[in-house]
Amino acid sequence: MKALILAAGRGEKFHPFSYYRPKPLFPIANRPLMEYTLRELVELGVGEVGIVVGHRGGRIRAYFGDGSKFGCSISYIEQPEPSGTGDAVIRARGWAKGEECLVVYGDLYIPKGVLRRVLDAVPDAESGVAALGRGPRGGDRGVAAEVEDGKVLNYHWKDPHYRDLPVLWGIYVLKEPAWKGLDHLPDVVEEVANGIFPPEEADLASLTKVMAEAGMPLDAVEVEGIVDMDFPWQPLEVFRRVVGRMAEELAGTVVEEGAEIEEGAKVEGSIYLARGARILRGAYVRGPAWVGENTVIREGAHIHPNTVIGRDCTIGPYCEVSGCVGNRCRITHCVEFGGIVLDGSYFVHYCELSGIFGERSEIGAGTTVGTRRFDDEPNEVIVRGVRHRVPFSGVLFGDYSRTGVGAMIMPGRVVGPSAVVGPGVVLTHNVEPFTMVLVKQEQEVRPWGREVYDR
């Protein structure tokens, strides 16, 4: 069987992390989210993988190449304009040649065993299979599915009247009849609530209605534990799940060749120390924790449990780190950090930081990020004009952005990519991409001589 991964969308709801990368390439525990899906496919014996690319597709091509380093053959299918998931699959029809094909959305976190369960249902299906399950808020976030006697009969796009129905996750297996059904997909999402503007695109969920009306409905397979990583705070949830799986696989402390835990370092729990990594005397590491190649944990650094640190990093002295640190990062002198920071970022000198920070971000000395509202309500995050109340603590800080000395950022704020929050700014609003925010000051200059003291 072939597998097709859809990774062409712009990911606009994932702002500020979707400008410079396609959403499926966002790193979780220092691997792109889509890599976990690809590796699972290879473990299931899938040898041919197609990836539909569009927005920033060059980054996907550069990372995955021809697939040989992952144990498969990868072909790339272009979708120049974001015309919907249905259009993406139609563009791959020539590559698939009408054969049985597993279709997976590239922005999904999929627990182990889920794809196996989907594939096990294929032999008994006439036209194909659709995976569905109970999302965290029912059918009001995403596409709800009408199911009867194990068959999917219809879909409903973000309609509150169907919030109690299961959700279509974005995992399908298409057999020959379903490939033919793609010819009849509408180019507008029809099943929406009254008065709601329908998306003007061909959505793959529409295939469920097309096939049911043709008398060959897709079989429903119920699976759980999937996260559709739509919004920019959701990588934290996905990271918690991935690191939980990693912890189950880490049996005891592993110290690779050339790695070292110096005498006087304090290590508790299970630790993975990659080649050339060092934990210096006076450092404190609580496992489970993972330290990448040639990374140095310096004196006074405190690494909390369930922390993943990439390669070629410097951590410390005298800092506190919890969460995930990308490759080639520096977190030094009395920095307190909790969350996710991507590759090549620098946090230096007396900062208190929480949230998600994009690649090559640079945080000036004394920068502070707020974590709670005064009224103790969930933080409010505004993404592309839509307000969300979410249990998220900290800031969403875009790629290639920076702060000046003494900046203060209120909780839930979004700093766009390639932006600057200047020294001394108290940031209470979002910052657009390619924008600098500076403080205006009024200053008074007075004479100051000996007479001030000679009274």
User: Regarding predicted confidence, which is higher, 348 or 208?
Assistant: 208
Contact 279, 266 (CB under 8 A): no
Quick one: pLDDT at residue 198? 85
pTM: 0.94
Residues 325-333 have a mean pLDDT of 97
> How many Å apart are CA 120 and CA 107, to the nearest integer?
23
Quick one: pLDDT at residue 182? 96
Per-residue pLDDT for 25 more than 80? yes
Quick one: pLDDT at residue 137? 53
Quick one: pLDDT at residue 136? 61
Residues 389-407 have pLDDT tens digits of 988 889 999 999 999 999 9
Residues 357-376 have a mean pLDDT of 94
> How many Å apart are CA 332 and CA 407, to the nearest integer?
18
Per-residue pLDDT for 455 more than 80? no
Q: Worst-scoring range by mean pLDDT, 16-25, 176-185, 300-309, 377-386?
A: 377-386
Burial class, 343, CB count within 10 angstroms (exposed 0-12 / middle 13-18 / buried 19+): buried
Contact 355, 372 (CB under 8 A): no
Quick one: pLDDT at residue 294? 98
Mind listing the domains of the chain with CATH numbers? Answer: 2-228 (3.90.550.10), 252-437 (2.160.10.10)
User: Regarding predicted confidence, which is higher, 190 or 148?
Assistant: 148
Half-sphere exposure of 186 (CA within 13 A, CB side): 12
Q: Hey, what are 438's tokens?
A: 């500076």
Concatenated DSSP letters for 64-120?
A: HTTSGGGTSEEEEEE-SS---HHHHHHHTHHHHTT--EEEEETTEE--TTHHHHHHH
Percent of the chain whose pLDDT exceeds 90 = 86
> How many Å apart are CA 421 and CA 403, to the nearest integer?
5
Per-residue pLDDT for 314 more than 90? yes
Residues 217-240 have pLDDT tens digits of 999 999 999 999 999 999 999 999
Quick one: pLDDT at residue 106? 97
Residues 269-281 have pLDDT tens digits of 999 999 999 999 9
pLDDT band at 384 (very low <50, low <70, confident <90, very high): confident
Residues 43-68 have a mean pLDDT of 97
DSSP state of 124: G
Per-residue pLDDT for 323 more than 50? yes
pLDDT band at 162 (very low <50, low <70, confident <90, very high): confident
Query: What are the backbone dihedrals phi and psi of residue 61, each rounded to the nearest 5 degrees, phi first?
Result: -60, -45
Residues 118-143 have pLDDT tens digits of 999 999 999 999 999 987 654 445 79
Average pLDDT, the chain: 95
Quick one: pLDDT at residue 196? 80
